[in-house]
A and B are shown apart, each in its own frame.
Chain A
Amino acid sequence: MALINVAAREIHCKIVYYGPGLCGKTTNLKYIHSAVPGHAKGDLLSIATETERTLFFDFLPLDLGQVHGFQTRFHLYTVPGQVLYERTRVAVLNGADGVVFVADSQQNKLREDIISLQELARNIQAEGKKFLEFPLVLQYNKRDVPNALPLEQMDHYLNSSIKVPRYEAIASKGVGVFDTLKSISKLVISKL
């Protein structure tokens, strides 16, 4: 649910980066945050947990033109990828206007990718929204690893039934990161 700040004439949209553990969600956000000029962004915030990997809860406004006379501001969030944290993922996903699903291209991660995408579909439906109509973009991350699955296979396993825009990325180098962000931003705005 996009929030509207009347005094500032801003519309705030929430975009969530979703995906299995260690797929590169946080890397995406860190790269975006480092590339956006200082005046256009808020602080990158994180909430740490006790377990091996930190749960990132990020906030990053990014201006992207006007809609109906309102300035758009995007809030980007990541969810903790580890299976353990499904309840946190549901909480972060609540009220999201769009989702980037970051898939890990490594052959041995395909199973985790599929399970995580299925969980996403379930959680979006649990919010009373239709998964196939929900603004969603796929990002095949880590395209530079030696054991990366060929594109056709990624498409076959992840995108053959949902057919959403998908981008190849090497988030650690920033490759494909902004293409993905622009794509989801446009999708979200088109729904307003």
Chain B
Amino acid sequence: MALNGPLHEFPLNDIISLVELGKQSGAAQINSVMNGRPVTGRIYFRTGSVVHAELSDLSAEEALFTMFTFTDGHFEFLNGEQPTREDIKRNNAFLIMMGINRSDELKKIKEIVPSTDLVPLLADNIKSNQVNLTPDEWKILTAINGKDNIETIARVTRLGDFRTRKAIAHLLEQGVIEKKQRNIKYILYAELDTIATTHLGNAAKNLLDQAYQRARVKIDDDITYEQALDVVEVFRKLAAMLMGPGRAKTVAEQMLERVRVVFER
């Protein structure tokens, strides 16, 4: 089946209904952008029923529901592609309803939490005497350190973008946390941290903190463009010892590019 097209003309619910109607087996491959980065996800079908979904490191249902929130992008149906496992057991109608609910909910949440760049921090004074927290909100609270932005928190807690934003929106509404003003030093730290951990795993967090120390830059102090270049250079040297100069250079180049974007150079 040569089925492909742009998502804004052919939303996910239509794709699922069409594949169900034709009782097809295969995968719908979705290319879109999530938090400013290109992503590729897949929804697997067996005789028309959704049986699995993949998107970065999200669970199958979370991956599927997240893809419902993609408004721009492109899809292509790959006939006969099979998943390595089948983690989705619900029927298509239920999944579509949940997916659409998710997409609607995200629109509301985005009014409170417009960007994953935002750095939350604990409020000094909690106004109400009693707050009720969900397990997700607890998890988020323990990850808030005043440095990491929402994207990093979502990755560290493995809750995914939506559940993290939802919990943060609720915590903000309850006054448990506050939005930190957009500040270059924190944005930069979060950006570098994302690049470092993407390539080197969570151990890279330590390495980045060390780089800041050795470059004599305090994370909470304002940082200049030149200091940022120093931090990246120190990070490159430290990383080279761990992973060899070639890979360290690649990571450092990505970081430099990000530094230039943040400082608008």
Contacts and interface: CB of A to CB of B under 8 A. Distances in A.
Interface of A: 1-4, 6, 9, 11, 67-70, 95, 128, 191-192
Determine the main DSSP class of B at the interface with A: helix
30 contacts: A1-B17, A1-B20, A1-B21, A1-B92, A1-B93, A2-B93, A3-B17, A4-B13, A4-B17, A4-B93, A4-B97, A4-B100, A6-B11, A6-B13, A6-B100, A9-B100, A11-B93, A11-B97, A67-B97, A68-B94, A68-B97, A68-B98, A68-B101, A69-B97, A69-B101, A95-B21, A191-B91, A192-B93, A192-B94, A192-B97
Nearest to A97: B93
A2 B23 CA distance: 14
Contacts of A9: 100
Nearest to B97: A68
A1 B91 CA distance: 9
Contacts of A95: 21
Interface of B: 11, 13, 17, 20-21, 23, 47, 91-94, 96-98, 100-101
Contacts, number: 35
Nearest to B100: A6
A117 B92 CA distance: 28
Binding site of A, secondary structure by majority: helix, strand, loop or mixed?
Answer: loop
Nearest to B105: A69
A6 B10 CA distance: 13
A108 B97 CA distance: 47
Contacts of A3: 17
A82 B161 CA distance: 56
B140 to A, nearest CB: 25
Q: Which 5 A-B pairs have the closest CB atoms?
A: A2-B93, A68-B97, A4-B96, A70-B97, A192-B93
Contacts of A2: 93
Given A1-B21, A6-B13, A192 B101 contact: no
A5 to B, nearest CB: 10
B36 to A, nearest CB: 27
B263 to A, nearest CB: 43
Contacts of B21: 1, 95
Contacts of B93: 1-2, 4, 11, 192
Nearest to A127: B23
Contacts of B91: 191-192
Contacts of A1: 17, 20-21, 92-93
Contacts of A11: 93, 97
Contacts of B100: 4, 6, 9
A60 B23 CA distance: 27
B107 to A, nearest CB: 13
Nearest to A2: B93
Point out which of B11, B20, B21, B93 has the most chain A C-beta atoms below 10 A from its C-beta.
B93
Contacts of A192: 91, 93-94, 97
A119 to B, nearest CB: 22
Contact of B23 (A67, A69, A128): A128
Contacts of B101: 68-69
A163 B167 CA distance: 46
A4 B96 CA distance: 8
A192 B97 CA distance: 10
A2 B91 CA distance: 10
Nearest to B16: A4
Nearest to A95: B21
A132 to B, nearest CB: 17
A191 B93 CA distance: 10
Among A1, A3, A95, A192, max chain B CB count under 10 A is at A1
B47 A128 contact: yes
Given A4-B96, A9-B100, 4 more contacts: A4-B17, A68-B98, A70-B97, A191-B91
Nearest to B103: A6
Nearest to B14: A6
A147 to B, nearest CB: 43
Nearest to B23: A128
B88 to A, nearest CB: 15
Contacts of A68: 94, 97-98, 101
A97 B11 CA distance: 23
